[in-house]
Structure 1
Amino acid sequence: MPDYSMLQQMKGAIFDLDGVIVDTAKYHYLAWRSLASELGFDFTEADNERLKGVSRMRSLDILLDIGGLEFTEDEKLAMADKKNGLYVDYISRLEESELLPGVREYLIRLRGCGIGIALGSASKNAQFILDKLNIAGMFDAVVDGNKVSRAKPDPEVFLTAARGLGLQPYECVVFEDAEAGVAAGKAAGMQVVGTGRPEALSGADIIVSGLHEL
């Protein structure tokens, strides 16, 4: 039986976005697949698993490695911008109904208990997505790829989020669905709730299928 006592003691909850709050991974995949197709190779869903929780430029490097291609930094920046344009086009049609099960209810419960709520995501479109989902007002701090320079598993994003909440790392719990994110949370000195597939979350303190379990 999982030990949920850490959730009763936490003062701050820091959530990853993709795969925890909303499933935008499918839109990332479609955008990366489109770019790969344009470059002349296939990009599979299995390949896409390697990009979970990884920054945009690092994701592009992995994609190009799969395709066996090399480009200059300027060319890669242009490709990353192109991919982001495709992705933004997909997520511009996001609706509240795409919130993952239990998300809104859990956020409301946390706010009712006076627990600080932050987002800690590699996404540079995080604020836009929160606005589309109509939950932006439920977050006390939003730390995304525009505010940090080091990607997970570096703990920068979560440490910055804790500071945004005015809390010490040990007072915060991270909610993550990716191995790199779990590692970042632990490196930050925080306890971690893994959401999703147990095989990718072995370092988490608790593993649940989704926030609806909480």
Structure 2
Amino acid sequence: MSASTATTPVVLTAKALLLDMDGTIVNSDAVVERCWRDWAVSHGLDPQEALKVVHGRQGYATMAVLLPDRPMEVNHAENAVMLARETADTDGVVPVAGAPAFMAALDGLPHALVTSADAALAEARMTAAALPMPEVRVTAESVEASKPDPEGFLKGAAALGVDPADCIAFEDSAAGISAGQAAGMRVIGVGPRAAAHAPTAHVPDLTTLHVTTTPDGTIEITLRGA
């Protein structure tokens, strides 16, 4: 189907689901925007322009896009500081609409978290949003390359023992959607940022998804438009 929001029920099937965190199951926009606005201003950058590229990437990769001539070691050092600040700031971190029911429906099914956050930040935000942490997770420490590189999604599929073609990724950002597609997965785009980046299907939030399984264990995702 097209990347526009589904207006009639669509059913996608998979053997495993790979979930981005920020913007997909956890709404952390308030923290992200606070921290990155301050960072942009401190470097003489337009905060609005900076916020167009921060979502989905690891911090050092965002910095490399915004300050392309700066040594990467400086980006990694500043990213460590940024991660500590973001981990300590959970004010306004809430679940994306429908996320609690969606995550409950995945209990016992093959799924993994694939996030650009590090383990500490992922734990802080999932806890703040009162969402269960998937047993299988790929965090910043697990990969050499940030999204839009597909490494994280490929590692998630491998950890679950499922071919990427049999996985569905859930993403909200351009970088994340590109990563899922590059991994050979279908991608369900979640939220307002996702619609413009040609996911396999798009939903406004997770309230429009229904998860069931067939007798052979196949996961069925039914999508209904808002």
What TM-score comes out, normalization by structure 2 length?
Answer: 0.78
Q: For 1:2 and 1:119, locate their aligned partners in 2 and report how far apart those are by CA, in whole Å.
A: 28
Residues 60, 78 of structure 2: 8 Å contact kept: no
* Alpha-carbon distance in structure 2 between the residues aligned to 1:213 and 1:50: 27
Query: 2: CA distance between counterparts of 1:130 and 1:199?
Result: 21
Alignment of 1:104-183 (within 5 A): 104-111=100-107, 114-124=108-118, 125-137=121-133, 139-183=134-178
Structure 2 vs 1, CA of residues 77 and 103 (structure 1 numbering), >3 Å: closer, same or farther?
A: same
> Structure 2: any 5+ residue segments left out of the alignment?
1-6, 210-226
Aligned residues of 2:16 and 2:110 also touching (Cα < 8 A): yes
Task: Give the SS at the match of 1:101.
Answer: coil
Distance change in 2, residues 1:198/1:84 (3 Å): closer
User: Quick one: distance in 2 between partners of 1:78 and 1:202?
Assistant: 31
Identity %: 25
**Corresponding residue number in structure 2 for 1:77:** 76
2:56–2:175 contact (8 Å) kept in structure 1: yes
Letter in 1 for 2:130: N
Q: Distance in 1 between matches of 2:137 and 2:67?
A: 30
Q: Is the 8 A contact 2:112 2:138 kept in 1?
A: yes
Inter-CA distance 74–183: structure 2 relative to 1 (3 Å threshold): closer
* d(CA) in 1 for partners of 2:56, 2:177: 10
The one-letter code matched in structure 2 to 1:25 is D
CA distance in 2, matches of 1:202, 1:42: 25
| 2: CA distance, partners of 1:164 / 1:94 | 32
Higher helix share: 1
Cα offsets for 1:136-171 (capped at 9, x unmatched):
34x131111111111112111111111222211122
1:40-87 CA-partner distances (Å, limit 9, x unpaired): x2542342111111121111223435xxxx655554433222222322
Bigger strand share: 2
Distance 1:79 1:162 in 2: 31
- For 1:45 and 1:2, the matched residues in 2 are separated by 35
Q: Hey, what does 2:200 align to over in structure 1?
A: 205
Q: How many residues matched?
A: 201
* Aligned counterpart in structure 2 of residue 4 of structure 1, from 10, 33, 40: 10
Deviation sequence 1:87-142 (CA, Å, 0-9, x none): 22212x566xx11110010121233xx531211111112133223333234x1311
Q: Secondary structure of the residue that 2:38 maps to in structure 1?
A: helix
Secondary structure at the aligned position of 1:19 is classed as coil
Correspondent of 2:54 among 51, 54, 57: 51
RMSD of aligned C-alpha atoms? 2.3
Q: 2:194 & 2:100 partners in 1: Cα distance? A: 26
